[in-house]
Amino acid sequence: MATRSAVWGEVFATIRSTPVASISVALLSSVLGFLAIFASVADVQRITDSWNTKIASGSSVLTVTTATPAGLSAARCELLNDLDSVVAAGGRTASSSATSLLLPSRRLQIEHVTPGYPRVVWPGLDAGTNLSVVASSLLAKDFGLAAGLVFGIQDQPQPLVVTAVASAEPRIPQLQNSLTVAVADSSTVEACLVEAAPSAVRDVEALLTGWFGGPDPVNVFRMVPPKETDQDPQRDLSQRLSMSTPAAAGCAVAALAFLLVWARRKDFATYRLAGATRRETCDLFALEFALLYCVPLAGGVLAQLIISARELGETTVGVQAILIDAASLLAAATTAIPVTTLYLSRLDPMRTLKGE
């Protein structure tokens, strides 16, 4: 075996002479890769779904109030929207009730708010949508409201134009029967609501204690009190049990590859006596390992990533976690190369064939 082409030829000859064993090994590697990433995807999806539920309920929403009759600065409240650690922020300036000309028999509750307020109380509203006048889904059903509808208010010269209808339930139940109207030139707010990024709630909470300035202290509290076990999603993802599954599957593939080489040690000893060098023997194994283990393993991983791409595409941290798992799986599997290469390089062909 004097040339590299002979190594390739020997590998394909081995695969052709043992088709059942070769196909079985390749399928097993592919299934292990698929199932290992499937377990990771299921665990990551469970964690992200749990956090999405917490976020929707308002677990990362902070409420800032003050005992001062003048309230808080509306401009400072809206300025929080410029911070990377803040998802949305806004405040309520006043509440009123009015009679809609669409349904005069029923009073309409109107909340006058700053522009950022609707995105805090209604999760899922598109930031690019005009949120000047937002109606809840229940209110829209009762009054026959829809985005773009113009309707009049008794004793008000200017009609209102509904710019959006919130499909989700509001974080504040009372808003289910209210219409929020954004007032851009508000000077103060009764309370400022701030939705922080899940991993930055504590930092934002500390920031808000001094954000509004002034001699009077402010009260900062969470809309949903946290549980003692609550952490941030990145920490939950880094501590999940499924993190070890891909590495364990990769090690299983590596162990299988080494055991099969050990079972065929007399074949490799024969190659050596036939004139193959240590380097060519190691190349022979490396090529077999790539074709029968690595390629099917990567194929199984890729198949699972394609299947789950739609769900994972919604969460950046989830995608990162799965890609890390996939990398650890392949890295663990490739440990077979240095271990088995070391074994083959020290193989004594004569003693091996004698069974010693």
**Could you read off the pLDDT of 57-79 as tens digits, one per residue?**
667 889 898 888 888 899 999 99
Measuring CA to CA, which residue among 249, 251, 247, 243 is closest to residue 322?
243
Average pLDDT over every residue of 189-204: 88
Q: How confident is the model at residue 316 (pLDDT cuts 50, 70, 90)?
A: low
Average pLDDT along the chain: 80
Residue 53 has pLDDT above 70, yes or no: no
Q: Is 268 exposed, middle or buried (0-12, 13-18, 19+ CB in 10 A)?
A: buried
Query: Are residues 212 and 194 in contact, defined by beta-carbon separation less than 8 angstroms?
Result: no
**pLDDT digits 0-9 by tens, 140-158:** 888 788 888 887 777 777 8
Q: Give whole-number Cα distances, 260 to 24, 30, 255, 308, in Å.
A: 12, 17, 9, 33
Q: What is the pTM (predicted TM-score) of this model?
A: 0.53
Question: pLDDT: is 194 or 230 the higher one?
Answer: 194
pLDDT of the residue at 2: 47
pLDDT digits (tens, 9 = 90+) for 198-215: 878 889 989 998 898 777
Query: Using 50, 70 and 90 to split pLDDT, how confident is the model at 216?
Result: confident
Q: State the pLDDT at residue 335.
A: 85
Task: Say if CB 73 and CB 191 are below 8 A apart.
Answer: no
Which residues lie closer than 8 Å to 17 by C-beta, 6 or more apart?
none
| Residue 127, pLDDT above cutoff 90 | no
| β-bridge partners, 63 | 193, 221
